[in-house]
Chain A
Amino acid sequence: MQAIKELSAIVGDPISYARKLKEQSGKKIIGYMCTYAPEEIIQAAGAHPLRLFGSNKNIFLADGHLQAYCCSLVRGVLEDALSGDLNFLDGMIFPHTCDTVQRLSDIWRLNISYGFHLDVVLPVKLDTKSSRDYMVDVQNRFRNDLEKALQVTITDDDIKKSIALYNEIRGGLKKVYELKNKNPEVISGKDLSALVRAAMIMDRNDYLRILLNVIAELETKGSTIKSTGKRRLIISGGICSQPDIYSVIENAGGVVVGDDLCTGSRYFEGSIKTAGNPIAAIAERYWQRPVCPAKHLDKNARAENLIKIAQDGKAAGVIFMLLKFCDPHAFDYPYLKESLAAVSIPSLLLEVEDQPQAQGQLQTRIEAFLETLS
């Protein structure tokens, strides 16, 4: 697919894309790292929200600020920032995520001179009235802070337009996942992964146009391509930092039909209400979407969601792809694994290191796992 090829190039080098976008459109570029970043408000301010994933280059500068037991995502993003690769950013926002990102925010504030810096101190629990009221307060403060930082006025109408755009993008991605679930051969895992990731990198209006074209194409294609009966799998984890995993799985005779990733379903699940106060509506989605392990919704919420994803996908197994040193995910792994086992869904744990793993070794482990699936 031509459209996907373009996206893949952008996803492969988001920094060049963002620099060019800034040059051509004059838009302010605001960096963020977490799916709880209120992107809709950034978009409404006329700025461009850019999710940072950290490049895979060697860590030199970040070593002076973060010890080796810090995850590669945070070290990578800090390396990009310190090396000046991100000096085109007009601002960086830090929604409260985990202990590591929390400290990254401090280190960024103390060491990065370009762009404004905003903390968005979200509640960690999402299951009580007071935490939900606080969430609304935090979003309101963010709106005011952003207005000051960008010297713009963000009207309710601006936010409502942005919400409509995000609902279309999120709904569109959900549609693609449904098509993939129905017929896994319709789009490769690698292409789908690029499609989701591009949603966090590209100009959102440009992106939506491409997404709608892709959906139209997939819908036509879906009726002509035959399903090959490969082993259906789900991936669970934080960000998927190794898109090659999809090809490895496909080469081993499996296919990924769904995920619980923040570069996947956790990004697009849940639409925002269009009626009523738009800030309250944005806040509300945060306790309706599948929860990140760094937040608390219900002590069993993640297992219930993962089992549902696996069952809806008629999956034979789940692959946990966990970033080394990511504490929230590592804490949830044993209970998620057990909860899956209790409903007879086997799983495999892959711990992702800093450097991409040897493809051959990964493939052997996945092949071995697939062989155990009935």
Chain B
Amino acid sequence: MAEKDPAKEKRKIKSVKKMKDIMTNYYIDAKMAEQNGKKVAWITSGGPVEPLIAMDVIPIYPENHGAMIGASKMGIDLCQKAEVMGYSSDLCSYARSDISCATVNGGPIGGLPKPDMLVCCNNICGTVLKWYEVQARYFNVPLFILDTPFCHTQFLPEARKYVHRQIEEYIVFLENACKKKMDHDRMKEVGRLSVEGQRLWQAVLDTAMNKPAPLSAFDAFFHLALIVTLRGTKQAVDYYEGLLAEMRERIADNIGAVENEKYRLLWDNLPVWYRTKWLSDKFAAADTCLVADTYTSAWCGTLKYIDENNFIESMAEAYTRIYLNIGVDEMARDVVSMIDKYSADGLVMHSNRSCKPYSFGQLDIQRIVREKRGLPSLMIEADMVDERFFSESQIETRIDAFMEVVKERKSCTR
């Protein structure tokens, strides 16, 4: 075995192992749910998980599973299986791989544990509605839809009333499915832990304001898993406390995610799961760190709407006004403020053919960023799971050309 490069070793984030252990145990528990008399709910990534935690239901995220499928490069095979079933190759690759995986128990963990119920919140897209209808027919289990009216420019009072009523309906749905009443004290505690977890996650992401950034967006993509899946648990809070401490230590020791950070960029859209390492190395080789992204911050972006002493009431607004459920102009404002906050020198946008609500509008955001901050941006055409839509040579050429522009601009403005 070759000698380990000590500089490289120093930059490795130690919490990674802990995270892997937690996720492994989480999936083992979920797979044992039936034996242990526990219920399993499949839930969308933007859905309100806290009531599930309070009801002792194990939440399972087909989207997290989709990311795992992508990262383990099993996407093409599963997507093709879905195409044989009749699903168009133009459909979301998370949905395609999950739908076919359910029928063959394939993928990196041999399929997800069967759901006892499905919880679908359309605050991230309309795709999840169709996807969960497919699974509701396949598994023949109850489906709860939390319909969060899109906030093009505002969250209207009638929409607020509608979402509030649905949250009440959601609790009744869970009480029926679990045949027990909700313990509201427990719910309050879960709400408090959720807020605490979100604050810690935001604090972790905030450490990237430091130069050099102790973690990159590629690290954030990995450490995101718990704030998605186990939001509202002590475990998530403890984990992010540890991660935050590690990041602060790295700042104190002047350890950056990228060895020689000279340029800082902001990433937009979901990761290209099967190429995170390639992209990370590619940018690092150009002394560039992707310091922040619009994706991982979505799981703490609505803290401003949450009242931790009144979680159930305030979650209606928090879940409705998340990043993907707002207008393009508001998204552009968020992007510009992230550019300022993290001192980014440019923007990398993943035009993700799987995700229309995330990708349509990117060209306008790109224009707004150019107008407001005069920053260069790069658009990468790809897909988050389906590698057939990734052209390495083309993307490599475009990244090289883009980095030339970033360097040129920075040398001029210095």
Contact = CB atoms under 8 A, between A and B. Distances in A.
Given A334-B85, A335-B137, A98 B126 contact: yes
B91 A327 contact: yes
Given A109-B327, A124-B145, A331-B131, A67 B137 contact: no
Instruction: Give the contact-size bracket for chain B.
Output: 35 or more
Contacts of B131: 331
Contacts of B356: 69-70, 99-100, 103, 327
A332 to B, nearest CB: 7
A79 to B, nearest CB: 14
Contacts of B87: 330-331, 333-334
Given A124-B126, A130-B169, A296-B145, A109 B91 contact: no
A324 interface: yes
A88 interface: no
B86 A333 contact: yes
A17 to B, nearest CB: 30
B92 interface: yes
Contact of B147 (A124, A328, A332): A124
A107 B351 contact: no
A351 interface: yes
B401 interface: no
A327 B316 CA distance: 27
B363 interface: yes
A111 B363 contact: no
- For the complex, would chain A's binding face be called helix, strand, loop or mixed by DSSP majority? helix
Interface stretch (A24-32, A36-44, A134-142, A168-176): A134-142
Contact of A99 (B143, B162, B357, B363): B357
A334 B363 contact: no
Interface string A114-152: 000001010111001011011001100100000000000
Contacts of A213: none
A65 B363 contact: yes
A209 interface: no
A104 B364 CA distance: 11
B64 interface: no
Contacts of A16: none
A98 B254 CA distance: 47
Contact of A102 (B92, B150, B363): B150
A64 interface: yes
A327 B126 contact: yes
A85 interface: no
B108 interface: no
B122 A110 contact: no
Contacts of A69: 90, 353, 356, 359
Interface of B: 85-88, 90-92, 95, 122, 125-127, 129-131, 133-134, 136-137, 143, 145, 147, 149-150, 152-153, 156, 158-159, 161-162, 165-166, 169, 327-329, 351, 353, 356-357, 359-364, 381
Given A103-B328, A106-B329, A327-B92, 14 more contacts: A66-B360, A67-B353, A67-B362, A99-B357, A103-B357, A106-B327, A128-B166, A128-B169, A133-B165, A294-B129, A296-B133, A299-B133, A327-B126, A335-B137
Q: Which 9 A-B pairs have the closest CB atoms?
A: A334-B86, A331-B130, A137-B158, A103-B360, A106-B328, A134-B162, A130-B165, A330-B88, A99-B357
